[in-house]
Structure 1
Amino acid sequence: MSWTEIVIEVARDHAEALSDALMEAGALSVSVEDADEGTDAEKPLFGEPGMEPKEAAWEHSRVVALTDVDADQAGIVAAAAAAIQLADVPRFTTRKVEDEDWVRLTQSQFDPIHIGKNIWVVPSWHDVPDPKALVLELDPGLAFGTGSHPTTRLCMEWLEAHPAPGQTVLDYGCGSGILAMVARKLGSFPVAGVDIDPQAIESAQDNAVRNNVADIQYFVPDDFAESPFATARFDIVVANILSSPLKLMAPMLSGRVADGGALVLSGVLARQADEVAAAYAPFIKLGVWAEQDGWVCLCGRLGSDTVPSPR
C-alpha cells in the first residue's frame, strides 16, 4: 500500500488553521515543518516552560498532509481553503509515500548508547553489547530520557562517578525514570521519582519493572506529598529539567537534600549556569561539575562552603 502527501507552503498565520481544515477535509494526518529547513534562514521553534511559542508554526511554514493514494488531493485542498476562507486556493505539490516496514525503519534509528565508563542504554530489539556493564533496557517513548541527550548523560555520568550504595535518592522530573534506575542499579535505596506528567510516571514504572528495579517508587507531586516520602530528605537529589523551573524550585529542591547530601542539576545551558547557581546560593553552593555540547551539570553538597571540583 502507498499514500500521497500534499505539500503546501503557507505563512505562519494560516498554518494551524489550514492543518485543521485539511484533517476535516479528509487528510489522514498533517504536520507543519519549517519551509526554510536546511538553509541559513532555518529557525528553531522551542521554548522553556512558560515561554512556549503560541503557535506550532514558522514564519514560512510547510504544511504536509498525508492522504490515501486515490484521494482527490485537489478537492481536499480546495475544501480546506474554503473552510478557512482563503481568498485563493493555495498551490501545492504532491509526493508519493511508499509502504515500508515502519517499525523496523524506526528501530534502525536507535542503536545502543554507551554512557560514562560502564553504562549501556539498549533498546529491546538490540543485543546487549556488554553483559557485564550496567545495562538499561529502554525503548524510545513518550517520556523524556533515553540517554541520548547531553543533560541526561551528564546526570548518569555523575551518578556513576558517585555511587551511593544504601543511600537515598530522589529523581525530581524523572521522565522515563532513567536516572532513578541508574541510582538503584548502583545500589542506592530507597529511590523515588517524581514527575508532573502521569504518562511519564506510567512509563517510568513500566521501565523499572523491565529492568528488575521495581522497588523504585514513582509519584506525581500530589501523591508524593501524601507518600511516606512527604517530609523526607535525601542523600542525593537529582533534577534534570530546565533552568527556569529549576530556579523557581530552588527552595523546594534544596529542602529535600539531607545534611551533607548532594544536589545535582542539569537541563542548564552553560550560559545559564551562573544564574541557576545564584538562585540556589542561599541554600547550597553549586558549581559546574561537567559540560557537554553546551549543557552543564551543576552540583553541590548541603552544608559545604566549597564547590565540588570539575570532572
Structure 2
Amino acid sequence: MAWHQISVITNENTAPQLADFFSNLGAVSVTYMDAEDEPVYEPGIGETKIWSNTQVIALYELDADPALVKDLVYKQFPQEQLRAWHVEEIEDQPWERAWMDYYHPMKFADRLWVCPTGQEQHEPGTVCLTLDPGLAFGTGTHPTTALCLEWLASHDLTGKTIIDYGCGSGILAVAAILLGASEAHAVDIDPQAITATQDNALKNKVQNHIHCYLPEQFAPFQADVVLANILAKPLIDMSGQIASLVKPGGQLVLSGILQEQAESVMQAYQPYIDFDPPLQQEDWIRLQGIKH
C-alpha cells in the first residue's frame, strides 16, 4: 500500500493547530520533526514541547487529494506562516524492521552484548540481551542509556536487588538480571513503558525476576542499586524520593544529565550521596555514588 505524505514547515504556535487541521481533513497520522536541528531537552510530565521551526508531516490514503488539502490549509492559515510545502508518494514498509538498518550489536565493558533479533552474539564470558526498537525509549544507542549499561557491565551485581526508576524499554532492568542481579523492580509513568519492559523481560527469559509498576502501584523499599535514567529536572525535583530508595552503603546511578546540569544534580543529592567524579559521553553525564 502507498500513501500521500504532505509536509510543511511552520512555527511552534501554528504547528499544533495545523496538525489538528490535517487530522480533521482525514490524515491517518500526523507527526512533528525538527526543521533546524534545534534541541528540546526537558518537556515536563504530560507536556509536548516542539521546535520554533517545526516540520509537520501528514500521511493520507491514496484516494485523498493533496491539492485540495493544500488549498484548504492555505485558506485556514496565513501563507507567511507556511513554507516548504512538499508532497510525495511513499510505499508502505515494515517500519520496525527499517530501524535495523541503523541498529547493530553493541558491546559494553567486555561483558554485555545488546543485539537486535537475529544478530545475537554468543561470546565466551559475555551475556547477550536481545532488544528491538519499539514504543518505549532505550535501546543502548543513546549516550544516556549506554553510560548506564557500561556501569552495570562493570560492576558485580551477583545477588543484588535493583530499582530501575524511569525504566523505558526495561533495558537496564533486563541487563541487570542477565549480569547476575537477583531481582529488578522497574517503575515508569508511561503504561507503554511497562508493556515494553514486560515484553523485553519475556524475550530475554528473565520475566520471573523483573517486577513492573506504575508509580502509584510501587511500594517504596531500599535496594542495593538504584538507577534513574530520566532528565535533570525530575532528578532534582525527586532527589529525596529517589535517594530514599537506596540502602545505606548502596549505589545510585543517575543519567539523562547534560554537562552543564551535573553540578545542580549533584548538589540536590549531596545530603544523601557521596559521588564519584562524573563520567561524560558526548554532551551527557553519568553520576554514580554511594549512599551515606
**TM-score bucket (shorter structure):** 0.7 to 0.9
1:107 deviates by 2.9
1:51 deviates by 10
Partner of 1:22: 22
8 Å Cα contact 1:115/1:147 also seen in 2:
no
Map 1:50-129 onto structure 2 (within 5 A).
56-59=50-53, 61-82=54-75, 84=76, 86=78, 92-100=85-93, 102=95, 104-124=97-117, 126-129=118-121
- Give aligned pairs, total: 289
Query: Unaligned 5+ residue runs, structure 2?
Result: none
Between the aligned partners of 1:168 and 1:11, the Cα distance in structure 2 is: 47
Between the aligned partners of 2:13 and 2:252, the Cα distance in structure 1 is: 44
8 Å Cα contact 2:163/2:184 also seen in 1:
yes
8 Å Cα contact 1:177/1:193 also seen in 2:
yes
Counterpart among 208, 211, 222 of residue 217 in structure 1: 211
8 Å Cα contact 1:163/1:183 also seen in 2:
no
Secondary structure of the corresponding residue to residue 192 of structure 2: helix
1:33 deviates by 3.4
TM-score norm. by structure 1 comes to 0.82
Between the aligned partners of 2:242 and 2:97, the Cα distance in structure 1 is: 41
Q: Does 1:47 align with 2:42?
A: yes
Q: Does 1:130 align with 2:122?
A: yes
1:177 deviates by 1.3
Q: Which amino acid aligns with 1:4?
A: H
User: Are residues 57 and 211 of structure 1, via their aligned partners in 2, closer, same or farther at CA, if it must alter by over 3 Å?
Assistant: same
Q: Based on CA coordinates, which of the two structures has the bigger radius of gyration?
A: 1
User: Are residues 93 and 222 of structure 1, via their aligned partners in 2, closer, same or farther at CA, if it must alter by over 3 Å?
Assistant: closer
Q: Which has the higher strand share?
A: 2
1:213 deviates by 1.0
Between the aligned partners of 1:16 and 1:191, the Cα distance in structure 2 is: 39
8 Å Cα contact 2:161/2:184 also seen in 1:
yes
Identity of aligned residues (%): 40
1:172 deviates by 1.2
Counterpart among 198, 201, 204 of residue 205 in structure 1: 198
1:64 deviates by 3.1
1:281 deviates by 0.9
Secondary structure of the corresponding residue to residue 285 of structure 1: strand
TM-score norm. by structure 2 comes to 0.87
1:90 deviates by 6.6
1:71 deviates by 3.1
Counterpart among 178, 181, 206 of residue 188 in structure 1: 181
Counterpart among 121, 129, 140 of residue 147 in structure 1: 140
Q: What do you get for the CA RMSD once the two structures are aligned?
A: 2.7
